Chains A and B, each alone.
Chain A
């Protein structure tokens, strides 16, 4: 080539600096113009995400849900709720693992999660005891599914031991395996893995931190609200360990 395409002339600089008939782009463009362009692009992107979610073109929609723990990330597929992530979980890591495990067609769109967010709200306010949500178990393996289905049957206000859950899931000596399955519950709170305790009533572990487990059990009245560090586990349906 002749090299006649001058890359640094005044016209080229003006094209680079400016941003077309509306909006600014480079650092030396007017900040107001740039903000207008970026705001318009942001608005267009939100309309796009809402539209593809409404038309069923997205495989996963996610949104933020308020909670006493801070904002939860909630994600749904066409089948149902597939993921609840605690505030300290890195959003990009959560989205990347959803992309790997389900599909990269993921958009941020609140509307498909309106019911989820409303039910969580009611639950945290103590006005809801059972979630009436469709769940998508796609992120859970076969054994984990058995364990988490058993866990889903523990009623509000009740608790069970790891051993009991393992036995009900068909793995009587697998309380450690059951513990692992509970620890990797992708839909905490809604699948109430916080209702599974150590035999004897010690709280055991919790993916979202043991303080949150205690808080949830107190909300549900499964353990007495702490007075001077004392803690009592009341098993609603006492069973063998």
Chain B
């Protein structure tokens, strides 16, 4: 009954959009035709959600063919640049929330400020995602979903080492050392597996001790990784990594779930959906399902949690798209109540609206909770350059491999960030 209600309301919504779009009413919804190209990121939405969205869309627009193309995160910057540069860009694109500002500022995305109210829950969208879509006061995308990180741990390993999830960073080190001692016969054992380039997981430690990536004043950005707070956070993290992690100090987090599933790791810092990868029959080990627990990344102040990076994706419509109305209608279908609920319940991600935050149950509740104390990278059109230049991962590698002392590594990274963020 409920589903039907949602379906009807979505249909009504789409009709409303179509009516608004057609203005004079020269044509009706059903006669619009063409091919809509949609770029979604590989692994974002479960196939069932995408198929369901397309099926619902087909009912409303029977003459429109939707071509969903899944893109890989690794090369997405280059793909988007060339895609938007062409005269026939994809109509709908999923953009990592740190990338929107760059493309909006460059004129690649349609300004949808006037259409905001046509999307479900636009009044209760997650603030951090809405901020990522807003450039110079204008809305350039629709929040899609969010992800925040917490620590996934092996309950059985904790039990046999006689430890409990810690509630402070000092506690994390102590617990980790006990786990290392309890598993000293395993040369591959990591109490906390932390690959060197995993910068998303390093940010909470920086923020928790009062540091930041960059601060803005008078329209100018100033890198602040070399501030005393940032350095203190990195010192703490560096100590954790050197005593608890056997992960590749020059590697990234791409393989961490597969590594965790092999059974030589007690804790990883991960997104909620990674539980699914760890217990996947092909990529991981389904037997671990009831051995996994999660707790928030602790703060240096006992009993509190560290602020985490709120990752996520937004959906934008290309400015050069010749099917902007259809594109917005497709986005409205995917981000409507019905499919957004599925994204949370089937996909395990944090939905785009605070009104659905009660959907997180079990282990997912920890990740939903972490999202409440979350922060974001500098919201600048040049941030993507900082990301693509690997400034923070390179700094972390230099620190963890002890190629450079923390003050020098942070100074060099901070200067680079200042230059890149203020670049034209």
State whether these chains interact. no
Residues of chain A touching chain B, judged by Cβ–Cβ distance below 8 Å, are none
